[in-house]
Amino acid sequence: MTLRVLIVDDEPLARRRNATMLRHIDGVEIAGEAEDGEQAIRMIRELTPDVVLLDIKMPGMSGFECLTMLDPKVLPIVVFVTAFDHYAVKAFDVSAVDYLLKPVSFDRMRSAIVRARNALETRDADSRMAEMTGVIAALRTEPEERPATPAYDTEFWVPRRGEFVRVPAAQIDWVEAERDYVRLHTRTTSLLLRETMASMEARLDPMQFLRVHRSAIVRQSLISAIRQGGYGTIKLGLTTGVEVPIGRTYTARVRQLLSRRDLAA
């Protein structure tokens, strides 16, 4: 069975990269390429591809909005491709067969195509129709009808060896910068997430977490001590036994937090 795949992405380089990978996968035919949501809708209706590689964040119309404009009868198997990992939960909520994080590796693309093929072969037309009808109905729900979302993230979905691992914010002890990534430390594991420290600080509840260094964010309730380190450095002791450096520009806010604790006690 040859899979006809439509590539939808506003970035020409991303479209070329995806097309190059698809040409090296047996049993795949590129049905076409679309650079925005409106063009994608038109091409899906006209070409009826089996699978669509759908970018989420595009100018004018997002990938999610694109789906709401389609009749479930012509909706293909959806594989989301995006640079933003925090869309993962919603992507799976709308029954995407897979979710690829840019830059996509060849192995992940091939794996997604295998999953798409399996989905087409194991779901009959009626079941796919029912599923897509439910997806589109959910996406068309007015914003005021949706449950209120918390101001700060309560969980993070971290890619790891071809899967996404859920990390509840309540389980994070501290966050450490690691080049272009941040490492989320919990009691049992540590996972790398492609994110900046500034973005993580904005996504975490400031009543629960405190930035103490340009490379570290800690859970406030775990702070147990401030200790002098070597060469005039200051370290923060956590109840878990971990020591985290305090940046000079962050010392005042740490001392202020501990002073408030003393007054509350």
Among the candidates 112, 145, 178, a domain finishes at 145
Q: What is the mean pLDDT of residues 230-243?
A: 86
Q: What is the amino acid identity at position 9?
A: D
CA distance 228 to 235: 6
Q: 112 and 198: one domain?
A: no
Question: Are 96 and 187 contained in the same domain?
Answer: no
The radius of gyration of the chain's CA atoms, rounded to the nearest angstrom, is 23
Q: Is residue 163 classed exposed, middle or buried when 0-12, 13-18 and 19+ CB atoms within 10 A define those classes?
A: exposed
pLDDT of 41 strictly over 90: yes
Q: With a cut of 60, say whether residue 265 has pLDDT above it.
A: no
pLDDT at 59: 84
What CATH number does the domain containing 113 carry? 3.40.50.2300
Does 79 share its domain with 139? yes
Q: Are strands 163-168 and 209-213 parallel, antiparallel or unpaired?
A: unpaired
Q: pLDDT tens across 127-177, in order?
A: 656 666 665 665 555 444 444 455 788 888 888 877 788 899 999 999 999
- Model confidence pTM above 0.85: no
As given in the structure block, the two tokens for residue 151 are: 């101001």
The domain boundary, picked from 124, 145, 166, lies at: 145
Q: Domain of 188?
A: 155-264
* One domain for residues 114 and 13: yes
Query: What's the domain count of the chain?
Result: 2
Tell me 48's DSSP state: -
What CATH number is attached to the domain comprising 203?
2.40.50.1020
- pLDDT-derived band of residue 40, with 50, 70 and 90 as boundaries? very high
* Spatial separation of the C-alpha atoms in residues 102 and 68, rounded to whole Å: 24
Q: Which residue has the higher pLDDT, 118 or 229?
A: 118
Residues 170 and 117 in one domain: no
* CA–CA dist 169, 208 (Å, integer): 10
Question: Rounded mean pLDDT of 113-119?
Answer: 89
Give the pLDDT of residue 163: 79
pLDDT score for 1: 80
**Hey, what's the torsion of the CAs at 28, 105, 87, 76, to 10 degrees?**
0
Q: Are residues 25 and 110 in the same domain?
A: yes
Task: Name the band, by pLDDT with cuts 50, 70 and 90, for residue 35.
Answer: very high
For 175-222, write each residue's pLDDT tens digit. Answer: 999 988 999 999 999 999 988 999 899 889 988 999 999 999 999 999
Residues 202 and 252 in one domain: yes
| Whether residues 38 and 12 fall in one domain | yes
